[in-house]
Amino acid sequence: MTGPSQAPAQRGIEIQNLFSAIPDLALAGTYLLTWLAPTTLGDRVIGSLMLVMLLEFINVHSAAIMGNALVAPGAPRGKVVAVVGLGSFYTLFVGAFALAFQRWWPLVAFWGLTLNRLTPVLFGQAPRGKEKQFVQRSWAVGAMLYLAGVFPTTIAPVPRFGITEEVVRAQDLPGSGLWIDEPWRVIAFGFLYFTGWGISELYAHRWLPEERATEPGTSQRRP
């Protein structure tokens, strides 16, 4: 007589994980191409990609909150209302960035990035009954990747590759600061960040133990 059967350990890349990772890997490729040949996608694409990283800072937090709203118990209509309400609140912050850069597209980009972060929930990557834990782990991965990318590219020497002084002047970037003076740093950051996200999503973030993933504003209770 045999004991209870155990499900085999998940190995390899599952199709839903691939679909979830594709947008991040595509963004990583966009940053790498811009880093090497900054005028390939447009003369002022650097400013747009810089703004994407500012939006992603908001998105790391907002996607976790909205993801929890999606997997919480309740009627689908109530979940949709909660997600739209939360998204509208965060859109106010995005509007401030849009005004600073005098560009309207960040409002659309924010929702695109948000949907990108919610693809694991929408594609059913999380095991049934563990959706909330998966959302928390996804938030933890995003926060770790953002911090792990922003600090080295801020402190350590970063090659500028194709982003010459002439290219920087042509951007006409507003404000001041390290990213404005040396924009190749934020482009390198975006490449590392989205590459890490894509690779992690290919394997459904299984490299991060669940007990290390806690959403903002919560604490874990142990027996």
**CA dist., res. 125 & res. 123, Å (int):** 6
Per-residue model confidence (pLDDT) at position 124: 63
Say which residue the tokens 């090659």 belong to: 159
* Rounded Cα distance, 49 and 186, in Å: 8
pLDDT digits (tens, 9 = 90+) for 30-51: 999 999 999 999 888 998 899 8
Number of continuous H segments (helices) and E segments (strands) in the chain: 8, 0
pTM beyond 0.85 = no
Mean pLDDT of the chain: 82
Tens-digit pLDDT profile for residues 57-82: 888 888 778 888 877 777 777 877 88
- Whether 9 and 179 have beta carbons less than 8 Å apart is answered as no
Classify residue 103 as exposed, middle or buried by CB count within 10 Å of its CB (0-12, 13-18, 19+).
middle
CA gyration radius, the chain:
19
Residue 43: the pLDDT is: 86
Look up residue 183 and give its two tokens: 């924009």
Arithmetic mean of pLDDT, 118-146:
77
Domain segments of the chain: what residues? Answer: 15-212
